[in-house]
Amino acid sequence: MVTSAGCAAKLFPHLLADTLKGINWHTNDNVLVGFDGSDDAGVYKISDDFALIHTTDFFTPVVDDPYIYGQIAAANSLSDVYAMGGKPLNALNVVAFPQKEDLQILKDILRGGNDKAREADCVIVGGHTVDITNIIYGLAVTGFINPKDLKANNSAKPGDILIMTKGLGTGLLNNCVKYNELEDKIYNKLISSMTRLNADASKAMLKYNANSCTDITGFGLAGHSMQLAKASGVVLNFTVDNLPVLEGAYEAIKKKMLTRGDKSNRIYTEEFAVNKGNVNTDSEHLLYDPQTSGGLLISVPEKSSKGLLEYLRNTGDEISSIVGFVESPGEFQAGSIIFNF
């Protein structure tokens, strides 16, 4: 069995940003999305109607079942392509595995990843492995898109409505899994959420002409929302009570199943996150909880928002919710994220 160790902590984002500074990154006019916008994928134009999306993600096991872990890791890796409105094309396995460990575990991990990639009609064409103590798995994914359909995180418009497609709380609940503190019913719902592809949600936002999108993963709702707000030069205004939350997440908070990311994501966003009203500290933890294979945060024109929400719920993203709106900077600086309690 794979020993659940929780999602590997990301390098503190503010440290990563400092590390990237001062390097003269080679680029050219075909780079549509690079380092500038803090998107989780890069986009390179091949022609006026065809561009490639490149992304990678990987982490340590979050559940004990190696096959399910493989599925979760693959779904998480594919998500950045869907967040941009693209379609996955092919992928490479990224594997760290100790040779002294039972190789059947590795086979089950790879089988899980392959089955999830097959569901996405994404061909795994190879990969790379290293022999180290910790097990790590994920995919390096190449997707494609017509540049005119690209949904980056820099194009949210004042007046847009914000819609979330999956519930928050995976970091907290994965910690419960680690300590055997999760009942089967809640565990099954958690796995269903983390293994669900964002493919249907991606198609939906294209159908309803969304302006911008990001997926919610390791930097939590606060971190990824701030990145979108800064890149778009806007302010995001959330109603905390409207945020979709996975069953069991509040119980996990009561049990103090907080992750390291809760702290680092607060540090990352502290200059831009604003609380208004009577702050519920339990709900506040959900804003910073790092998500594994989380959903999409979609910024869509108000006239299309109800149609998009209905379409999302009818195509399987049943927990989708309208969670806020986009506004111009004024009282608050561009990049601010306002949480109304």
User: Are 64 and 3 a contacting pair, CB within 8 Å?
Assistant: yes
**Per-residue confidence (pLDDT) for residue 37, from 0 to 100:** 62
Cα separation, 293 vs 60, in Å, equals 13
How does 171-184 read in b/e, with b if 16+ C-beta sit within 10 Å? Answer: bbbbbbbbeeebee
Span(s) in the chain for CATH 3.90.650.10: 161-340
pTM of the model: 0.94
Mean pLDDT by 10 residues, the chain (341 residues): 47 69 89 81 97 97 97 98 98 97 97 98 98 97 98 96 98 96 96 98 98 97 97 98 98 96 96 98 98 98 98 98 98 98 98
- For residue 287 the two structure tokens come to 């804003």
Provide the Cα torsion 18, 23, 29, 33; round to 10°.
-20
Residue 244 host element (H or E): none
Residue 58: exposed, middle, or buried by beta-carbon count in 10 A (0-12, 13-18, 19+)?
A: middle
Q: Give yes or no: 7 in active site.
A: yes
**Per-residue confidence (pLDDT) for residue 25, from 0 to 100:** 87
User: Are 32 and 145 a contacting pair, CB within 8 Å?
Assistant: no
Nearest to 261, CA basis, from 158, 170, 153: 170
User: Are 154 and 137 a contacting pair, CB within 8 Å?
Assistant: no
Reduced to 3 states (helix: H, G, I; strand: E, B; else coil), residue 58 is strand
Secondary-structure percent of the chain, ordered helix, strand, coil, rounded to 5: 40, 25, 40
Q: How many CB atoms lie within 10 A of CB 98?
A: 14
User: Are 215 and 79 a contacting pair, CB within 8 Å?
Assistant: yes
Which residues does 310 contact at the CB level (< 8 Å), separation at least 6? Answer: none
**Per-residue confidence (pLDDT) for residue 40, from 0 to 100:** 78
**Per-residue confidence (pLDDT) for residue 12, from 0 to 100:** 63
Residue carrying structure tokens 């601010």: 336
Span(s) in the chain for CATH 3.30.1330.10: 13-149
Pick the CATH number of 13-149 from 3.30.1330.10, 3.40.30.10, 3.40.50.720, 3.40.50.2020: 3.30.1330.10
Q: Which CATH superfamily includes the segment(s) 161-340?
A: PurM-like C-terminal domain (3.90.650.10)
Nearest to 254, CA basis, from 341, 167, 172, 183: 172
Cα separation, 215 vs 56, in Å, equals 14
